[in-house]
């Protein structure tokens, strides 16, 4: 039976997702589920525990996607749960195949600063100039504590296999993992059974079906990427992209978090939903496994946890005008959609 958690202050982990399949995957990773405290901030939450962490999961409203909606959900979470120190954006993404990373369906991509890139880049924000397009703006990197935790997990010999954490509904599908040439568009239908096999890019078979975890740059924007040519153009222009998604760019500056994405397609016209449950599952499983190593990280560097929490708590004290504006935006949204 679910155990009641009376106070919002009891929850130290914030987990944001965008789709119902991602929410189901998050719930499947909870060691126990709580009834949770009564909250009236406009979000609908799921409460529970993973290891020693009390976790609150917030999901975007059905049918609402993109950076703006993610920002609204995360903002309310930060105000409602003042003890939230560890934050994650977890879900599915479109993989970017390339020579630098052998991305396959069912793999996991984790945001990590590389060279001069902060871990997440917003590829659709910039200026149109006579000689081309220039990206503008700078997003914050993931919190240092979470980056240290990923390093610890990456080198841990005792790390559990992600597939071993998946319930039946999130296991690897029977559908083939096929990568088509970037210029070859989908023929039609919900699967690729009518697509020409001579347009498939040859790749060596993996001997192990266990998901591979990649660390690096995630591209975020308000548009669904379904174009192999544009996918590769942005990969070459920005450098080192591992996947595309639609929410993280709205979070990084105001809701510093680690972005974790399971790869469900290749961001081209051959998208389908066959791999979405498995991709959502492996992303959630990685998050669960990461939380298992964070207590030891916190014990080793407690000053970092306290300093980060204090700085972010000070940063997140909203003005009355901001609270009024947020309340008005929420009411307007629900009036328009009812």
CB under 8 Å to 18, separation ≥6 — which residues?
59, 60, 65, 69, 70, 91, 246, 247
Q: Can you give the pLDDT at residue 126?
A: 66
Residue 280 lies in a domain: yes
Provide the domain limits for residue 261.
Answer: 10-317
Residue 159 lies in a domain: yes
CB under 8 Å to 163, separation ≥6 — which residues?
171, 172, 209, 210, 211, 282, 285
Residue 30 lies in a domain: yes
On average, the pLDDT of the chain sits at: 85
Q: Can you give the pLDDT at residue 321?
A: 46
Residue 43 lies in a domain: yes
C-alpha distances in Å from residue 79, one per residue of 5, 40, 65, 313: 18, 12, 21, 9
* Residue 189 pLDDT exceeds 90: no
Confidence of residue 194 (pLDDT cuts 50, 70, 90): confident
* Residue 159 pLDDT exceeds 90: no
Q: What is the pLDDT of residues 28-46, one digit of tens each?
A: 999 999 998 889 999 999 9
* Residue 329 pLDDT exceeds 80: no
Q: Residue range 67-76: average pLDDT? A: 94
d(CA 109, CA 93): 8
Residue 336 lies in a domain: no
Q: Can you give the pLDDT at residue 117?
A: 93
Residue 327 lies in a domain: no
Q: What is the pLDDT of residues 234-244, one digit of tens each?
A: 999 999 999 99
**Matching residue, tokens 């005792």:** 158
Q: Residue range 118-139: average pLDDT? A: 76
Confidence of residue 259 (pLDDT cuts 50, 70, 90): very high
Q: Can you give the pLDDT at residue 169?
A: 96
Confidence of residue 95 (pLDDT cuts 50, 70, 90): very high
How many domains does the chain contain in total? Answer: 1
Look up residue 180 and give its DSSP letter: B
pTM, full prediction: 0.86
Residue 75 lies in a domain: yes
Q: Can you give the pLDDT at residue 309?
A: 44
Residue 146 lies in a domain: yes
Q: What is the pLDDT of residues 51-71, one digit of tens each?
A: 999 999 999 999 888 889 999
d(CA 77, CA 154): 29
The CATH number of the domain holding residue 86 is 3.40.50.1580
Q: Residue range 179-208: average pLDDT? A: 89
Q: Which of 262, 254, 249, 258 lies closest to 293 in space, CA to CA?
A: 258
* Residue 125 pLDDT exceeds 90: no
For residue 233, the SS3 value is helix
Q: Where are the alpha helices (DSSP H) in the chain?
A: 20-29, 67-80, 144-154, 228-238, 276-300, 302-315, 320-337
Q: Residue range 95-101: average pLDDT? A: 90
């Amino acid at each position: 039976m679910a155990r009641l958690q009376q106070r919002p202050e009891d929850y130290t982990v914030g987990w944001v997702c965008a789709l119902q399949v991602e929410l189901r995957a998050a719930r499947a990773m909870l060691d126990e589920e709580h009834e949770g405290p009564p909250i009236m901030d406009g979000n609908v939450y799921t409460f529970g525990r993973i290891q020693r962490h009390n976790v609150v999961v917030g999901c975007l409203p059905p049918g609402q996607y993109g950076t703006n909606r993610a920002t609204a959900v995360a903002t309310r979470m930060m105000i409602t749960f003042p003890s939230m120190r560890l934050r994650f954006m977890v879900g599915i993404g479109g993989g970017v195949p390339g020579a630098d990373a052998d991305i396959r369906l069912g793999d996991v991509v984790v945001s990590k600063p590389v060279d001069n890139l902060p871990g997440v880049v917003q590829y659709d924000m910039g200026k149109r100039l006579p000689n081309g397009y220039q990206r503008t703006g700078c997003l914050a990197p993931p919190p240092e504590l979470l980056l240290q935790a990923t390093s610890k997990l990456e080198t841990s010999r005792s790390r559990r296999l992600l597939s071993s954490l998946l319930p039946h509904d999130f296991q690897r599908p029977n559908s083939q993992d096929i990568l088509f040439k970037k210029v070859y568009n989908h023929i039609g239908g919900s699967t690729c059974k009518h697509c020409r096999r001579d347009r498939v890019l040859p790749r060596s078979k993996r001997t192990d079906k266990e998901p591979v975890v990649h660390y690096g740059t995630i591209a975020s924007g308000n548009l669904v990427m379904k174009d192999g040519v544009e996918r590769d153009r942005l990969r070459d222009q920005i450098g080192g992209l591992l996947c595309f998604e639609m929410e993280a760019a709205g979070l990084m500056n105001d809701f510093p978090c680690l972005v974790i994405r399971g790869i469900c397609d290749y961001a081209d016209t051959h998208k389908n939903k066959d791999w979405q449950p498995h991709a959502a599952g492996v992303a959630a499983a990685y998050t669960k496994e990461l939380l298992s190593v964070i207590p030891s990280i916190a014990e080793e560097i407690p000053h970092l946890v306290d300093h980060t929490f204090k700085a972010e708590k000070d940063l997140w004290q909203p003005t009355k005008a901001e609270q009024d504006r947020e309340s008005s935006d929420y009411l307007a949204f629900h009036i328009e959609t009812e």
